[in-house]
Structure 1
Amino acid sequence: MTRIISENEPVELQISPEKVCFVIIKAHEFDAKDVVTEPDPGSNASDDRMAEVLEDHNDDPSLQELTSFINAMTEDEQIDLVALAWLGRGDYTAADWLEVRKEAASAHNRYTARYLLGIPTLGDFLEEGLSLLGYSCEEFEINRL
C-alpha cells in the first residue's frame, strides 16, 4: 500500500497497516502490566481478585502472543515495524522514511521482537509513526486478523 507524504515522496510499507495496528493493540495490553508483587502465585486467582493477570510475569500470554506474532513476520515487515517505532518516537520526520528504513534494515537481527518489546511505549510510538505516514488504525477492522 502506497501513501503520499508530499507530492514527490510516496511511501510504500512492506508491512500491512492492519498488522501494525494489531501490534499496537497488543503492545498497549502489555504496557498496562504492573510489576510482579507475588512471584509464585499458588492460590486461587479469584481469591486474589485476579491481580496476577495485571502483573508482568515471564509466561504472560500477551507477551508470548506478541513475540510469536512479530517473530512470524517477514524480515521486511520487521524492518518496517522497527522503522515505524523509530519514526514515532520523534527522531525522524515522515520525509526521512527511506533513511530510517535503511537504518532499521542495517540494524536488523533475529532479536527484533525482544528489542521492540523492550520499548516501554511501543504502542504509542507505532501509532505515531503510522500517523506521520498518513495511516490510522481507525481505518481497519483489527478483529479479523
Structure 2
Amino acid sequence: MIDISAVSGPRVILKAIEQEIPMAALPFNDTRIEELVLRFNAVMAKEGTDISDLGGNASDDEVAVTLQETGGDLSRDEITQEIESMNDEQKDALVALFWIGRGDAEPEAWEQTKALARQQHEGLVSRYLLGQPEAGEFLTAGLEKMVEYGVD
C-alpha cells in the first residue's frame, strides 16, 4: 500500500513516479492529465453568465463577473480539444478513471471498466465529462485509487 496522505490532487502521479510504481495501465503523460484536471477545475469553478438586473448602474450593466463564463472563454474549448485529440484507448481510460473516482467501479476492475467505457461511447467524451459535476475531483480521486492499487 502506498502512503499518499501527504499528496493531494494530480501530484499523486509524481508521488507514484518517485515510488517507482508502474503506471503502464494509465495511457497518460503525467503532465497531460495534471493540466487536464486543472482545466476541469477552472471550468467547474465558473458560473453561467447571469445578467438579470438591467436597471442597475449603467457603468456596470452587461459586464460579466470574473468567474462567469463568457462567449469568448477558451477553457471549455481547450478541454474539448484536448480530450477529443486523445486516441480511443486514452478516452476509454479517462472515462474509466472518472468512474473509479466517482465510486462506480474499483481499480481491480480496470480492464472491464475501460471496456465498458468503450461500449458506452455515445457522442463526445469531452461533452460527457464536462457535463459531470466535479469531474476534476473525480479524475483525481480515480487516479489516487489507481496509484493506491498499484496499477501495472
Residues of 2 paired with 1:88 and 1:58: CA distance?
A: 31
The match for 1:132 is: 145
Q: What TM-score results when the alignment is normalised by the length of structure 1?
A: 0.72
- Greater relative contact order (Cα 8 A, min sep 6): structure 1 or 2? 2
Ranges in structure 1 where 5+ consecutive residues have no aligned partner: 5-9, 40-45, 136-145
Residues of 1 paired with 2:29 and 2:122: CA distance?
A: 21
The structure with the largest alpha-carbon Rg is 2
Residues of 2 paired with 1:17 and 1:80: CA distance?
A: 14
Ranges in structure 2 where 5+ consecutive residues have no aligned partner: 1-16, 53-58
> Which residue, 37, 40, 65 being the options, matches 2:50?
37
Poorly superposed stretches of 4+, deviation over 4 Å = 1-4
Alignment of 1:104-143 (within 5 A): 104-134=117-147
Q: What is the count of residue pairs matched by the alignment?
A: 123
Q: What TM-score results when the alignment is normalised by the length of structure 2?
A: 0.69
Mark the CA change 1:103 to 1:109 in structure 2 (over 3 Å): closer, same or farther. Answer: same
The match for 2:66 is: 53
Deviation digits for residues 101-128 of structure 1 (CA, Å, limit 9, x no counterpart): 1101112244111111111110000000
Percent sequence identity is 30
Residues of 1 paired with 2:104 and 2:43: CA distance?
A: 24
Counterpart contact for 1:88–1:127, Cα < 8 Å: yes
